[in-house]
Amino acid sequence: MGGPGLGLLDLYWLVAPDLTGHGHETAGLGLAVHWLDVAAPLGLGGIWLFFFAQALRDRPLLPVGEPEIRALLEAPAGGRSR
């Protein structure tokens, strides 16, 4: 769980205590988790991923017209050629 996951956790940590009593009942656990707390970020992430994949389909992953592309692809993983 990195970057966006920690940001969502931080946002939830700041906002969730204020929602207690407004449809987010704690049931004695002290932490209220509503099904939309999980579904909304997953849904928005899925929509973003769909549009990102659509945009990626229209663009090449490698530079078009690069004269040294073969040498770059055949170079060792460290990037240094001997």
- pLDDT digits 0-9 by tens, 27-62: 555 566 778 878 988 999 999 999 999 998 888 888
Per-residue model confidence (pLDDT) at position 31: 63
What local confidence, expressed as pLDDT, does residue 27 receive? 57
Displacement of CA 33 from its chain's centroid (Å): 21
* C-alpha–C-alpha distance, residues 25 and 17, integer Å: 11
pLDDT value at residue 82? 53
SS3 49: helix
Domain ranges of the chain: 1-33, 35-82
Q: Are 39 and 45 in contact (CB under 8 A)?
A: no
